[in-house]
Structure 1
């Protein structure tokens, strides 16, 4: 019989944040940061946080699940997604987005 070893990824780990580039900030003084948790077949799994405020971004290919916090992400085509714990969102490389964070967002991502 083969023994399977399970490793736990600690999504509660501290995530260091730094101020966002002032050229991307539309409102407030948001900070963001991430911490990689694992790499699987060239795909990164990690935790990301953004503190309250509004900022623009250009995305990478990613799927994420919101663990805590609240806000919205709006895409250039006008689609708006409300973010709350349990929200699952697909981002595509090159998409331009606007993030409005009301309560610090923490998400786990696969990119």
Structure 2
């Protein structure tokens, strides 16, 4: 990354090696376990970054986003609007819409690359 927080054209960033600082999930969001989450912006102008969540389950309100899972596994349940849950694994590509109410259950630490 350049000094101004943007990805440099033609330069590879290893999404598995990016340091992502993790913090405890707010108790109001926790469904089970003691999950931690964190993210690292790779390019703020383009809205690209890496997000990670450790094992456990938490509620979330989504933003408009497309992501690709690069490691780990989990399930996302859609509580509002209700729809069938999805299973996440490396290679899963998912689009979320702003306002969706979800429950993320991570079985194995999950890392994704997102575009918002």
Same fold (TM over 0.5): yes
Which position in structure 1 is the counterpart of 2:61?
Answer: 58
Which position in structure 2 is the counterpart of 1:46?
Answer: 49
Q: How does 1:1-111 map to 2 (within 5 A)?
A: 6-11=10-15, 12-39=17-44, 42-76=45-79, 77-111=82-116
Is 48-57 or 71-80 further displaced after alignment? 71-80
**RMSD of aligned residue pairs (Cα, Å):** 1.1
Question: How far, CA to CA, are the matches of 1:105 and 1:74 in structure 2?
Answer: 15
**Unaligned 5+ runs, structure 1:** none
Question: How far, CA to CA, are the matches of 2:102 and 2:10 in structure 1?
Answer: 36
After superposing on structure 2, the runs of 4+ consecutive aligned residues of structure 1 that deviate more than 4 Å are none
Question: How far, CA to CA, are the matches of 2:30 and 2:66 in structure 1?
Answer: 23
**Unaligned 5+ runs, structure 2:** 1-8
Question: How far, CA to CA, are the matches of 1:38 and 1:60 in structure 2?
Answer: 17
Question: How far, CA to CA, are the matches of 2:93 and 2:83 in structure 1?
Answer: 18
Q: How far is the alpha carbon of 1:108 from its aligned partner?
A: 0.2
Q: Give the greater-gyration-radius structure (CA).
A: 1
Q: How far is the alpha carbon of 1:38 from its aligned partner?
A: 1.1
Aligned residues: 105
Question: How far, CA to CA, are the matches of 1:81 and 1:43 in structure 2?
Answer: 27
For normalisation by structure 1, the TM-score amounts to: 0.90
